[in-house]
Amino acid sequence: MGVEGIGARVARKEDKRFLTGKGRYTDDMSVPGMKYAIFVRSPYAHAKIRSIDAAAAKAMPGVIGVLDGKQLLADGIGNLICGWMIHSKDGSPMKMGAWRPLAHETVRYVGDAVAIVVADSVAEAKDAAEAVVVDYEELPVVTDATKALEQGQPQLHPEAPNNLIFDWQIGDPAATDKAIAAAAHVTEITIHNNRLSPNPMEPRATLGIYDGGDDHYTCYTTSQNPHVARLVMSAFYNVAPENKLRVIAPDVGGGFGSKIYIYPEEIVCLWASKRTGVPVKWTSDRTEAFLTDAHGRDHLSKVKMAFDANNRIIGLKVDTVANLGAYMSLFSSAVPTYLYATLLSGQYDIPAIHANVRTVYTNTAPVDAYRGAGRPEATYLLERTMETAARELGVSPAELRRINFIRTFPHQTPVIMNYDAGDYDASLDAAMKAADWNGFAARKAEAAGRGMKRGIGMSCYIEACGIAPSAAVGSLGAGVGLWESAEVRVNAVGTIEVLTGSHSHGQGHETTFAQLVADRFGVPIDSVNIVHGDTDKVQMGMGTYGSRSGAVGMSAVVKALDKVEAKAKKIAAHLMEADESDIVIENGELKVAGTDKTVPWFQMALAAYTAHNLPPGMEPGLKEGAFYDPANFTFPAGCYICEVEVDPETGVTKIIQFVAADDFGNIINPMIVEGQVHGGLAQGIGQALLENVHYDPENGQLLTASYMDYAMPRADDLPSFKVSTSNTPCPNNPLGIKGCGEAGAIGSPPALINAITDAIGNNRLTMPATPQKVWAAAHAAN
Amino acid sequence: MYETHYHRASSIQDAVKLRQAAGEGKYLSGGMTLIPTMKQRLAAPSDLVDVRQVPEMKGISVSGRTVRIGAATTHFDVASSSELAALCPAISGLASHIGDPHVRHMGTIGGSIANNDPAADYPSAMLALDATIITDRREIAAGDFFTGLFETALEDGELVTAVTFEAPAKAGYQKFANPASRYAMTGVFVVRRDNGDVRVAVTGAGSNGVFRHEGIEAALSAQWSPDALANVTVDPSDLLSDIHADATYRANLVKVMAKRAVAAARAD
């Protein structure tokens, strides 16, 4: 592998910049004449706008302009859209209500933007925003999705009667019902997946710059996919044609999904820059982030799992209600459908599955993909159900899983997915060994002697990453293809630039993508630069989410490297008067195998650009591009085990140990993979123990709008993790890699809740398992 | 933040004068509550009178068993005072668990008690220790000082300059931290005097702020032991319910934290 090649534990190149404060984020960007925007936002969760009076605000010091939605509409800027079409089971298309970038008729959640104020300073813009008089007529509010479906509830969008967006299904209802009717045992459980706020360290920000000379727009923004932002803003929002719109996502401080989507602020700042004639910058404060960043999860599901007399699963029936908030965000429809219900087979051979999903409008912030996106919901549902079934059936949780594991591949599930490779016994064995599962009884007894309740729980997860085959997702309703692009430019003296459509916002691409090149050509990674995040530099790309940068983005790089290698060998063979099939590339040199003839890498590159002595007919230069469209999803899987102690007096849960045994296929940089797992576990543990978005059900006010009330995991909430990996290489991409970005967040919540319910002897417990809930459950009858 | 005017006071008299001259002025000490509140535009004082540099308001002095802590003394200074640790380790421990290191190096005891956040730690210590709150114009017993949620006996423009108390024979403090803010969701400070008097003050749990719990005091007066609380009941009807904890759970926490505070006091 070499010291810097594939599999090497290389320190991250980008960290010097980040750790010394030299990162360049959107809010660091400054251009001459730049002014500052503040958005006037609705204080009500549901109201009609009777009028907006900006006269006083416009007269205030430093104010350059106050603009509202009527002006936006008059300038032809379009509504925000959801880019994935889902059809209900009756064949009707999903019911998408209008999402105005600036609302001027109705506001539907607290934080809905109604006007933008542009001023010389943030303080002046805030003063003026307070002076904008919006006359609201309050309307009744509904925040709970199940309640919103009932008769007589407030209606959010005229397009969606009873607030129902779609009523979708997957699988075979008749076969599933038949299996349940014939079952020796049916486990029934209600599963609630709590709503989360994404909380990237860097809040959203955008800088819109309109250049009247060229009628050209530049948008700096906190995006995980600047090319998708440009595509959507051009094709659907009518901001500007693609050739007149440059989108730059510079250093981005975390996304976790929340920066995939196009929000109103980017569009409005670009438009406002043209309207006011000045560059317009907006930076979210933390409260705005809580109010307006797309939330995650918020599912309520009823589950029936049917077993035969041998404890084999013969059917699974799921009925889910998913809260999508006030508007349909960009990929919101895909999350509770194709990213969720297609994973309901888990690691198990289940002959019949049926899932029904209803998505619902409520007076809350839009809900979209958040680290894991649908797969945590599927995993939590399945693994809580498996644990419950094991207790009901009197089988050990490990044994029940082993009875039902899939062991032959490829495996076609009843819910679309075709698993290509895996070894679920290997992860389960590794996790149980690392956790000393067999020694648990003694540890429980010792804890009981101290008055503490000790519990252990496991979770065997699978996810679908590397999204996704374009034709497949197109047939399922996606409005875009999910391939990736790469270009490899070898400069005249041999240094290399890799342009990628993937976007790094914490994942370490500047290191891992360079490792691919170092591995291939034996050049130092410091001679390789990764270029990303700018639509003027990288022609097109689909961005980073769904653990796709490795499996899809790197595969595109590999394809481009193949082309560069082929041409480099031709040049070297010509220079050394050898046959190109005899050329090998090692340690930065091109050699004729079996001889001492070599050409250094830089000399070959120089020859490509001097073009004095190239093979007949060869074009000068050395630059190759590639697009890679994956043949299948990838299927990372693993087993997580959590051991806890609950203090019965207070309900406080202390995590004693947390073991993660993952199969990510081949690994480029183990250190970065471990970092991804640690971060994912922290987020999953946050969901299970601490985090919850809480709206007041009466008036729709967000009660968790700051860190005073929204509990993020801190270092002292977490144990030292024991992580390990096993490897069944992915057969469907050239590197054999599966992706690791979301696993920790997907696999950990059920392991933790299974452990706590084991400790307290009561299975009725919802996330987050706060001390109060655990205390109450520990003292209630099961 | 709205525009404001900053003044640095050099003495207590200077501070009071500056405050009187201001329109809608406020004293500024560590600013750990006031500044974030101003940043969120929830407070808009016309003037801030900074008392952190007033010499007579800083520092800890001990005379026999009488402790005096200047109002502008930071939590860090309280937590790290060896004299205090020897005399009343419970208050050192309390100070060492307020907020985070940043907060402890900025926030002050006077600011905390004058703000009287119902989830702050110090009010419970002041009440249980039967401390005296010294202001620019009078002395107020802690029992009369804390009057409600963010409410105190302070008059307009009155400045807390110090607190004094007699170090007790035994004292202990235990806090159950709110998982989000890490303020006290319930904190209990117990004090036992040489003459057997017991005072128990509860913060974070009361719907009207810090309060003494007579049932626990009676039980501990009879027997200074965690076991003495086994049969004490804590009535949830006057306790807070919010999204983090309801009154029933807080009632449980009052009892559990009281037990643990007594255990901690006995161990010192």
State whether B40 and B109 are in the same domain.
no
CATH number of the domain within which B218 lies: 3.30.390.50
Q: State the pLDDT confidence band at A131, using cuts at 50, 70 and 90.
A: very high
Residue for token pair 């409600």: B148
pLDDT at residue B8 tops 90: yes
pLDDT value of position A123: 96
The C-alpha atoms of residue A319 and residue A78 are separated, in whole angstroms, by 35
Q: pLDDT digit string (tens) for A317-326?
A: 999 999 999 9
The C-alpha atoms of residue B97 and residue A299 are separated, in whole angstroms, by 37
At residue A597, the 3 state secondary structure works out as coil
What would the CATH number be for the domain defined by A483-628?
3.30.365.10
Give the minimum alpha-carbon distance from A347 to chain B in angstroms, rounded to a whole number: 34
Chain A residues within an 8 Å CB radius of B239: none
Q: pLDDT digit string (tens) for A396-410?
A: 999 999 999 999 999
Q: pLDDT digit string (tens) for A418-441?
A: 999 999 999 999 999 999 999 999
Chain A residues within an 8 Å CB radius of B2: 127
Domains of chain B: total: 3
State whether B103 and B16 are in the same domain.
no
User: What is the ipTM, given to two decimal places?
Assistant: 0.96
Looking at B108, B137, B166, which one is the last position of a domain?
Answer: B166
pLDDT at residue A572 tops 60: yes
Q: pLDDT digit string (tens) for A268-315?
A: 999 999 999 999 999 999 999 999 999 999 999 999 999 999 999 999
Looking at B123, B148, B166, which one is the last position of a domain?
Answer: B166
Residue of A nearest to B183 (CA): A708
The 3 state secondary structure assigned to chain B is: CCCCEEEECCCHHHHHHHHHHCCCEEEECCCCCHHHHHHCCCCCCCEEEECCCCHHHCCEEEECCEEEEECCCEHHHHHCCHHHHHHCHHHHHHHHCCCCHHHHHHCEHHHHHHHCCCCCCHHHHHHHCCCEEEECCCEEEHHHHEEECCEECCCCCCCEEEEEEECCCEEEEEEEECCCCCCEEEEEEEEECCCCCEEEEEECCEECECEECHHHHHHHHHCCCHHHHCCCCCCHHHECCCCCCCHHHHHHHHHHHHHHHHHHHHHC
B33, B100, B244, B262: best to mutate for the A interface, most A CBs within 10 A: B244
Chain B residues within an 8 Å CB radius of A694: 243
| Main-chain dihedrals φ then ψ at residue B188, nearest 5 degrees | -130, 125
State whether B92 and B148 are in the same domain.
yes
**H helix or E strand, kind and range, residue A568:** helix A555-575
The C-alpha atoms of residue A204 and residue A25 are separated, in whole angstroms, by 10
Q: Is the minimum CB–CB distance between A290 and chain B shorter than 8 Å? A: no
| Main-chain dihedrals φ then ψ at residue B13, nearest 5 degrees | -60, -40
pLDDT at residue A9 tops 80: yes
Q: Could you check whether A31-139+201-254+259-292 and A299-467+632-778 share the same CATH topology?
A: no
Q: What is the DSSP string of A433-463?
A: HHTTGGGHHHHHHHHHHTT-EEEEEEEEEE-
pLDDT value of position A315: 98
Q: pLDDT digit string (tens) for A629-661?
A: 999 999 999 999 999 999 999 999 999 999 999
Residue for token pair 């210590």: B125
Q: pLDDT digit string (tens) for A343-380?
A: 999 999 999 999 999 999 999 999 999 999 999 999 99
How far, CA to CA in Å, does B60 sit from each of A126, B63, B83? 43, 10, 9
How far, CA to CA in Å, does A67 sit from each of A59, A71, A72, A73? 13, 7, 8, 11
State whether B91 and B153 are in the same domain.
yes
The C-alpha atoms of residue A293 and residue A705 are separated, in whole angstroms, by 11
A299-467+632-778 folds as Aldehyde Oxidoreductase; domain 4 (3.30.365)
Cβ separation of A650 and B246 shorter than 8 Å?
A: no
B175, B234, B252: best to mutate for the A interface, most A CBs within 10 A: B252
Give the minimum alpha-carbon distance from B258 to chain A in angstroms, rounded to a whole number: 12
pLDDT at residue A101 tops 90: yes
State whether B64 and B151 are in the same domain.
yes
State whether B156 and B77 are in the same domain.
yes
The C-alpha atoms of residue A532 and residue B106 are separated, in whole angstroms, by 42
Q: Is the minimum CB–CB distance between A780 and chain B shorter than 8 Å? A: no
Q: State the pLDDT confidence band at A781, using cuts at 50, 70 and 90.
A: low
* Chains A–B, number of C-beta pairs less than 8 Å apart: 47
Cβ separation of B249 and A710 shorter than 8 Å?
A: no
Q: Is the minimum CB–CB distance between B37 and chain A shorter than 8 Å? A: no
pLDDT at residue B31 tops 60: yes
Q: Is the minimum CB–CB distance between A701 and chain B shorter than 8 Å? A: no
Nearest to A649 among B179, B180, B256 (CB): B256
| Main-chain dihedrals φ then ψ at residue A770, nearest 5 degrees | -70, 160
- Mean pLDDT value across residues A456-461: 98
State whether B195 and B256 are in the same domain.
yes
- Mean pLDDT value across residues B199-203: 98
- Mean pLDDT value across residues A66-79: 97
Cβ separation of B244 and A126 shorter than 8 Å?
A: no
Cβ separation of A707 and B180 shorter than 8 Å?
A: yes
Structural domain containing residue B136? 59-166
State whether B158 and B204 are in the same domain.
no
State whether B256 and B189 are in the same domain.
yes
pLDDT at residue A96 tops 90: yes
pLDDT value of position A782: 53
The C-alpha atoms of residue A263 and residue A334 are separated, in whole angstroms, by 18
State whether B14 and B103 are in the same domain.
no
State whether B260 and B205 are in the same domain.
yes
Residue of A nearest to B256 (CA): A649
Torsion of CA A308, A401, A758, A726, to 10 degrees: -170
- How much is the mean pLDDT over chain A? 97
CATH number of the domain within which B32 lies: 3.30.43.10
- With 0-12 CB in 10 A as exposed, 13-18 as middle and 19+ as buried, what is A402? middle
| Those residues with Cβ within 8 angstroms of residue B255's Cβ, 6 or more apart along the chain or in another chain | B216, B229, B232, B234
**Residue spans per domain, chain A:** 31-139+201-254+259-292, 299-467+632-778, 483-628
β-partners of residue B171 are B191
Cβ separation of B244 and A287 shorter than 8 Å?
A: no
Q: State the pLDDT confidence band at B267, using cuts at 50, 70 and 90.
A: confident
Looking at B131, B148, B166, which one is the last position of a domain?
Answer: B166
Q: State the pLDDT confidence band at B268, using cuts at 50, 70 and 90.
A: confident
The C-alpha atoms of residue A498 and residue A502 are separated, in whole angstroms, by 11
pLDDT at residue A3 tops 90: no
Contact B5, B39 (CB under 8 A): no
pLDDT value of position A330: 96
Residue type, A182: A
Q: How many CB atoms lie within 10 A of CB B136?
A: 14
Out of 3.30.70.20, 3.40.50.2300, 3.90.1170.50, 3.40.50.920, the CATH code matching A31-139+201-254+259-292 is 3.90.1170.50
pLDDT value of position A362: 98
With a pLDDT cut of 70, the percent of chain A lying above it is: 99
- Mean pLDDT value across residues A524-535: 96
Nearest to B179 among A690, A694, A703 (CB): A690
State whether B154 and B230 are in the same domain.
no
Q: Is the minimum CB–CB distance between B85 and chain A shorter than 8 Å? A: no
Chain A residues within an 8 Å CB radius of B246: 772
